[in-house]
């Protein structure tokens, strides 16, 4: 699986550290970064997960009917596991097991939120 990674470093960069030999110019986004390399690159502050940017759409940019269908903004980290499962079911129609680890529930809900924003 490939992950989109954006590079915000001060000068062009070619990955020799992790062996991918992928190259970025300042501000470039590459959508072909293998997942195992992306995980390592995202540990560095110069890189960001470009998939997050897709979920950061301003509500004003959406047509009115889509604005009305968006789930309310919430602090997912403050929710209990049961609340996360209920939120996912109510807003995305996804049935989650509240017995899962909270981090897995958070990841699943965020993934659903990203699918909804596209």
pLDDT tens-digit map of 48-86: 988 765 544 454 555 655 555 555 567 888 889 998 888
Element (H, E) at 57: none
Closest CA to 13 of 63, 37, 105, 97: 37
Q: How far apart are the first and last CA of the chain?
A: 19
pLDDT band at 24 (very low <50, low <70, confident <90, very high): very high
Residue (of 114, 91, 94, 90) closest to 105 by Cα position: 94
**What pLDDT, on the 0 to 100 scale, is given for residue 32?**
92
Reading the block at residue 63, the tokens are 């047509």
Q: pTM score, two decimals?
A: 0.45
What does the mean pLDDT of the chain come to?
Answer: 80
**Tokens 């529930």 sit at which residue?**
105
């Amino acid at each position: 699986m490939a992950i989109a990674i954006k590079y915000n470093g001060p000068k062009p960069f070619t990955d020799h550290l992790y062996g991918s030999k992928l190259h970025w110019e300042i501000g470039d986004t590459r959508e072909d970064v293998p997942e195992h390399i992306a995980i390592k690159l995202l540990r560095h502050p110069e890189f960001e997960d470009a998939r997050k940017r897709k979920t950061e759409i301003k509500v004003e940019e959406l047509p009115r009917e889509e604005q009305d269908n968006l789930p309310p903004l919430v602090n997912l980290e403050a929710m209990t596991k049961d609340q996360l499962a209920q939120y996912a079911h109510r807003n995305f129609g996804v049935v989650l097991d509240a017995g899962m680890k909270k981090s897995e529930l958070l990841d699943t809900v965020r993934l659903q939120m990203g699918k909804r924003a596209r």
